[in-house]
Structure 1
Amino acid sequence: MLSINKRSSIKSKIFTNVRTVLRKKNFSKILTGFAQRYYSDDYQFIQQSVIPTMHFQRSLPRLPIPELNLTCQRYLRAQKPLLSVNDYSKTKAIVDDFEKNEGQKLQSMLKEKNNLNKNTSYITADWSNMYLSDRTPLPINYNPILVFKHVHQSYNSQLLRSTNLLISSLRFFKSLQSNLLEPEIFHLNPKKSDTSRFKTLMKYIPETVSWYGAYLFNAYPLDMSQYSSLFRSTRIPMVNKDILHKNDSSKHIVIMRRGHFYKIDVLDEKGNILSPGLLLSRLQYILNQNVSPSNHPVGILTTSERNNWAHLRNHLINLGNKEILDTIDDSLMMIALDDEKLNSEPNLMTKQYLHSNGTNRWFDKSFTLIVCGDGTAGLNFEHSWGDGVAVLRYFQDISQDSVNSPKCHPDNVSIEINSDNLQVVKLEFTLDDKIKRNIEKTMNEFKNMYESLDTNYFEFFDVGRNTCKKFGISADSLMQLCFQLGNFKLHKKHVGSYESCSTAAFKHGRTETIRPCTIETANFCEAISNKNKPSNDELVNMIKKCSIVHSQLVKEGAMGQGFDRHLFALRLLAEKNNLNIPKLFTDPAHKLINYNIISTSSLTSNYIWLGGFGPVVKNGYGIGYKILEEYTGAIITNYNQHTDGDKFRDVLTKSLNQILDVLKTN
């Protein structure tokens, strides 16, 4: 029998040997004895909803086709502030004729088409094809951005921030994949419907009638069909029309750093999320690689005109790069690790996330999580597969999860890693002279494009929803009136204007256009700019009327009762059936209203630091704005050869102050 001392010595040697083996196999100290917990549901899922994610999808109402006469009325009302008296009379005659004649036939055809496609909306396929057929480069023109707020400094290193956001993203993905992500529901009476009782009851209502059950509680489930395209998907360039690609089984992500590509697995063979220590170690290994920036970064080609990129991609495949391209396309998601340190400067942040220099991006991916050298983080997302509703939900959930329940902590970073078994695969493209020349050419072309883009930040710290409640007006209408007044002050005319509105209350709903330049906003802009302007009481009444009209437009848009998508569908029917194109669509007024000088989108969320997008026309402005309880801010983009962004920002500030001065006197 061994003595106690000998047994103790043997145990000590065994423990030492086991610890050495574990280290060699790259199990960090913090995981020893605790690895099993990373297979628990608490780690694997960000949510475990009582109501299945897709529970309401089958019973969602379909997007309605507006009545033709209402569409014509709404179109004419939106045209009136943009046209002279004579031009408006001509347009009205054209619209009246359209309503009585060609419009009737096209409306009947649209309804017939809609009846044959009852599992979707009348606009979904055509709207997606519109995106995929456009040959315009994606960055600035299409891909929007969202930027996260900073987290506590100790968690804001590039390594910790990217690892925690990755883990939260995977937890979101797993909940979505397992039908455990809570469905998106708009609660008109949260005290009644956003409750455990409501959720339990909904769970047992059959899917075929579940939407109606929620409706009885004044709760409105939203379409969740776009969510499946968040992960494992990408847009692939093809000649004349791109395609959307999705892989249902990939377990890896792709990391970009300094124009180089790295593949790392993030799920095990059973589909479980790997441990935080292992994921952190793999990211740390990539960050520790002191590689020089790629001389020929292939990602820059995704900034190119789409047909050009399609031809170059085919050439890459012919050179033997199909497997690498498949790895990128099939990846669960993509992370770009940038060296830049932005110091929370809004204009620098906007430029970095909206375009950067394009060498460390793959703009075709459904979204890219971008983390800079100082831990600043954001998203750039491709727009053809979906809209802001799905991206914003993902953004908010992972922001909250990574801040409130981070899985990696500052003390984890100091642990030494063994790189022998990290399984980080560097993807090496085979390039020839033709591809290298085109990469260099594209880098110069993209540089000319993004250097012509100007960005400006506009903010008020004491104006927000609470201010608007006090004055009895809509916060959104206040901002839209500010944009209209600013433009009128600067350019002395009313212009085509666009505000995005989600139609996610309907099956496969996408967006509708709100037209913020109304008869009422035009009257106010002219009145307050007149030397003999009306009294303050009259101006206050005009502001309130603007708010009432704007709120009605928002309501109509959300209920699928705008005119833009309807007319878009009617015009496409005429084109596809080789019918004469109605004069309504060849009328200069139609081109004018769709030339959106002011393009806006509300990105209001407590989790967003800022969000934005590029102008949609060369002499226009792209305005991403947010309105919180006591804060209002906007990122404004424009092309500096055509417009002066500094002046526009300044005139917006003056306009908002002028409107507030009027309201304060009431």
Structure 2
Amino acid sequence: QQQQQQQQQQTEYEKTAAMVSDFASAGGTGERLQRALVERAQRLEGTQSWVEVWWEEEFLRRRDGLPIAGNWYGLDRLDTPRATQSERAAVLISGAVKFHRMIKTERLEPLRMMGVVPLCMWQYRRLFHTCRQPGAEMDTIFTATDYSDTRHLCVMCKEKAYSFDLYHKDGTPLDVQELQSQIEAIQAMSKATKNPLSQPPVGILTTQNRSTWAQCRQELMSAGPNNTDSLRKVETAMFLLVLEGPSPGTLTEQARVSFMGNGANRWFDKSIQVIVFEDGVASVNCERSWGDAPVAAHLFGFMHDFESETSIAPYAPKSPASSSPLSPQRATKPPRHPLSPPKRLEFALTSKLARAIDEAALHFKAAVADTDLVVLHMRYFGKGFIKHVHISPDAFVQMALQLAYYRLHGTLPLICESAHTRQFRHGRTETVRVTSSDSVAFVKAMAHLDQSSAETKLHLLLRACVSHVEQLKEAMNGRGVERHLLGLRRMARELSLHTEALDAPALHLNWGMSADSCPVQRGPSGGFGGHCDGGYGVSYHAQEEHMYLHI
């Protein structure tokens, strides 16, 4: 109520309050829906969360294209290993394969909240071999489970798709040298292509509106005898490796390429895309319907640890005796088994598909031009100073963002922050409504510098931060608002009940800003797009003495 009161005229607020009061009255519609919701939770107890299917369906019904509005990106560690593109890619793949095998054999230790409470690991089942498949009205999340059909990796290079097996016939994984050999073979195949325009880039279709892409996907599968097999190879691959061109010189430009690129050298439906530039700098692009950022960040942290511990020496210059950072043992030992060469994935296209690819490229180009992205490295202080003055770093940054928005626009929007609920079975996230009466009071006191004393402003900041932390804890402990409202709306639909309170405009306003801390183990973190046209997506990562913000 506090947040909505800031967004509506008093008359609208009073009308909404009256509807909510009637909805929550004893014996009213709200009580009936709540009782049905509790019964659903009891039926599903021990098998799944009462909200997970509904939440996923709501997410998969969104029709916006995945770049900008859907996927998120992450940047590389700052101590990037000195390696060629093929060397770095090979080591990262090897680390991912090891992580995957630990999941399959259930040897991966769960992440723990505050180092104590283990978090649910169900999402890890869809980390690899997963693809979001487009549908006319709702997408589906497809995860390949047949081991015999999921031993390969898909590679995008110069807007063409390739694949090769990650395992030998006896089940042993390719080592780093063998992986590097396969990647270099793909690079050679790409350079040997006489006519690079012989086949328009099919990957650009994954940037389109989901219903449009669903129609194109059906057309693609029926356009040629090999198309379905090629499509299946992409969608069932362990993940997608993207071999990019030169690495941009600034973090902002690296972020733009990682977040959007040219749209054609990507397959945005894949759960994980690992991007490696020519100089060995890496980044990632992740689709988010299958799982949450901390799960993917766990993988990337493991891959970084793996490369630090194995073949690449990231902190020392290359030895004069060798131009390769790979160890002599790895660089000289012969392959254990003959390697099957990588395969180019061919797609036959109709004239209709060729037009659709051209339209997708134009649409994507316009969307990229309409998107501003900046990576800000704030060096003045970090979370060390914020903690020293006894304030939550997360709350502090959230208040700073609200103040910045108010000074720019003269008003405050609806602002959301995600809180994980993975201490519960199959938990995902809850939404925290960040703007509150306490935060508004602080922002307005700060914005009018001549009307409030420093002591008053500090008091209002502390009160707003305490209020924010309390809201965040409530959401993480399963006592948030948004998922509950979703459950009530879905239950009303199932029972064919109409209620004005759940359809009130106040509950369906756009989020003007989405702001979240980034769960990275090292590096300058990553970012995501806004929830609506003109909206902000802000990701922040506060380190001890500085912080990064992706806006």
TM-score by length of 1: 0.76
For 1:206-245, list aligned pairs within 5 A. 219-245=116-142
Map of 1:525-536 to 2, 5 A cutoff? 525-530=443-448, 532-536=450-454
Please give the alpha-carbon distance, in whole angstroms, between the structure 2 residues aligned to 1:144 and 1:500: 14
Contact 2:81–2:312 (Cα < 8 Å) also in 1: no
* 1:301 aligned onto 2:205: yes
Cα distance, 1:81 vs structure 2: 2.9
Aligned to 1:311, which of 208, 215, 227? 215
Deviation digits for residues 492-535 of structure 1, max 9, x if unmatched?
11211011111111001010011111111100111122254221
Distance 1:102 1:487 in 2: 38
Structure 1 distance, partners of 2:9, 2:221, is: 55
CA distance in 1, matches of 2:467, 2:387: 17
Verify: 1:548 aligned to 2:548, yes or no.
no
In structure 1, the residue matched to 2:419 is: 501
Measured after TM superposition, the shift of residue 390 of structure 1 is 1.1
Q: What are the residue-to-residue correspondences of 1:413-428 with 2, within 5 Å?
A: 422-428=340-346
Matching residue of 2:320: none
- Pair 1:272–1:491, CA change in 2 (3 A): same
Correspondence for 1:446: 364
Find the aligned partners of 1:523 and 1:609 in 2 and give their Cα distance. 32
* Secondary structure at the counterpart of residue 204 of structure 2: helix
How far residue 337 of structure 1 moved from its aligned partner, in angstroms, is 0.5
Residue 390 (structure 1) aligns with? 295
The equivalent residue for 1:205 is none
Pick the structure with more helix per residue: 1
The alpha carbon displacement at 1:141 in A equals 0.7
How far did 1:415 drift?
Answer: 7.2
Question: 1:584 maps to which residue?
Answer: 501
Whole-angstrom CA distance in 2 between matches of 1:235 and 1:586: 29
Q: Residue by residue, what CA displacement relative to the aligned partner does 1:209-262 show, whole Å, maximum 9, x if unpaired?
A: xxxxxxxxxx21101000010111111122212222122211110111011111
One of 69, 78, 98 as aligned partner of 1:171: 98
Are 1:281 and 2:197 matched, yes or no? no
Hey, what's the Cα distance between the residues in 1 that align with 2:241 and 2:380?
Answer: 36
Q: CA contact under 8 A between 2:131 and 2:270: conserved in structure 1?
A: yes
Whole-Å separation in 1 of the counterparts to 2:376 and 2:155: 33
Determine whether 1:116 maps to 2:22. no
* Residue 259 (str. 1) matches residue 159 (str. 2): yes
Q: Give the conservation status (yes or no) of the 8 Å contact 1:251–1:268.
A: no
- Aligned residue for 1:139? 67
Determine the structure 1 residue equivalent to 2:520: 605
Q: Letter of the 2:523 partner, please give it.
A: I
Q: Out of 144, 149, 159, which is 1:247 matched to?
A: 144
1:634 aligns with 2:549: yes
Shift in Å at residue 405 of structure 1? 2.5
**1:334 corresponds to which residue?**
240
Instruction: Output one character per residue of 1:73-112: Cα deviation in whole Å (capped at 9) or x when no partner.
Output: xxx1332333344333222222211111221111111111
Which of 160, 182, 186 is matched with 2:87 structurally?
A: 160
Deviation at 1:608, TM superposition (A): 3.4
Amino acid at match of 1:386: G
Residue in 2 aligned with 1:18? none
The residue correspondences of 1:508-519 to structure 2 (distance < 5 A) are: 508-519=426-437
Change (3 A) 1:429 1:522: same
Structure 1 CA distance, aligned partners of 2:536 and 2:288?
19
RMSD: 2.1
Matched, 1:268 2:168: yes
Report the AA paired with residue 246 of structure 2: E
Measured at CA, do residues 411 and 168 of structure 1 come closer, stay the same or move farther in structure 2, by a change above 3 Å?
A: closer
- Give the length in aligned residue pairs: 526
Q: Deviation of residue 153 (structure 1)?
A: 4.9
Residue 292 of structure 2 aligns with an amino acid whose one-letter code is D
Q: Distance in 2 between matches of 1:77 and 1:463?
A: 32
Kindly indicate whether the alpha-carbon contact (under 8 Å) linking 2:167 and 2:174 is maintained by their aligned counterparts in 1. Answer: yes
Letter in 2 for 1:229: R
Q: SS at the partner of 2:44?
A: coil
Question: What is the CA distance between 1:417 and its match in structure 2?
Answer: 10
2:203/2:263 contact within 8 Å kept: yes
Counterpart residue number, 2:273: 368
Is 1:102 equivalent to 2:6 in the alignment?
no
* C-alpha contact (below 8 Å) 1:338/1:373 kept by paired residues: yes
Counterpart of 2:539, as a letter, is G
Please list every run of 5 or more consecutive structure 1 residues that lacks an aligned counterpart in the other structure.
Answer: 1-75, 189-218, 637-666
Question: Residues 567 and 254 of structure 1: is their aligned pair in 2 closer, same or farther, counting only changes over 3 Å?
Answer: same
Alpha-carbon distance in 1 for matches of 2:353, 2:392: 53
Match of 1:126 among 40, 54, 58: 54
3-state SS in 1 of match to 2:490: helix
Residues 417 and 358 of structure 1: CA distance in aligned 2, closer, same or farther (over 3 Å) = farther
Match of 1:476 among 394, 415, 427: 394
- Rounded to whole Å, the distance in 1 between the matches of 2:543 and 2:220 is 47
Q: Supply the AA of the counterpart residue of 2:244.
A: D
Q: Give the match for residue 538 of structure 2.
A: 623
- Distance verdict in 2 for CA 1:444–1:527, change over 3 Å: same
Q: Which moved more, 1:84-93 or 1:421-430?
A: 84-93
Amino acid at match of 2:133: I
Question: 1:322 aligns to what?
Answer: 228
Identity of aligned residues (%): 28
Equivalent residue, structure 2, for 1:19: none
TM-superposed CA distance for 1:269, in Å, is 2.5
The CA distance in 1 between the partners of 2:67 and 2:458, in whole Å, is: 41
Question: Helix, strand or coil: the match of 1:109?
Answer: helix
Q: Say whether the 8 Å CA contact 1:496–1:598 is kept in structure 2.
A: yes
Give, as a single letter, the amino acid of the residue that structure 2 aligns with 1:501: A
Given that 2:185 and 2:341 are in contact with CA atoms closer than 8 Å, whether structure 1 keeps it comes out as no
Q: Which of 1 and 2 has greater Rg?
A: 1
Identify which of 77, 90, 93 aligns with 2:15.
Answer: 90
Q: CA offsets per residue over residues 314-372 of structure 1, 9 Å max, x none?
A: 111112211111111111111010113212x1221121111111111011111111111
Deviations 1:18-73 (A, max 9, x none): xxxxxxxxxxxxxxxxxxxxxxxxxxxxxxxxxxxxxxxxxxxxxxxxxxxxxxxx
Give the residue type in structure 2 aligned to 1:160.
Answer: E
1:414/1:404 Cα in 2 relative to 1: closer, same or farther (>3 Å)? closer
Q: C-alpha separation between the residues in 2 aligned to 1:528 and 1:553?
A: 22
Name the structure 1 match of 2:475. Answer: 557
How far does residue 421 in structure 1 lie from its aligned partner after superposition?
5.0
Q: Partner amino acid for 1:167? A: S
SS at match of 1:370: strand
Matching of residue 355 in structure 1 with residue 260 in structure 2: yes
Secondary structure of the residue aligned to 1:453 is coil
Paired AA for residue 547 in structure 2: T
1:406 aligned residue (291, 311, 330)? 311
Whether the 8 Å CA contact 2:117–2:423 is kept in 1: the answer is yes
Shift of 1:489: 1.1
Look up the match of 2:321.
none
Aligned partners of 1:589, 1:220: CA distance in 2, in Å?
36
Query: Which segment drifts farther, 325-334 or 164-173?
Result: 325-334
* Alignment CA distance shift 1:543-1:108 (3 Å): same
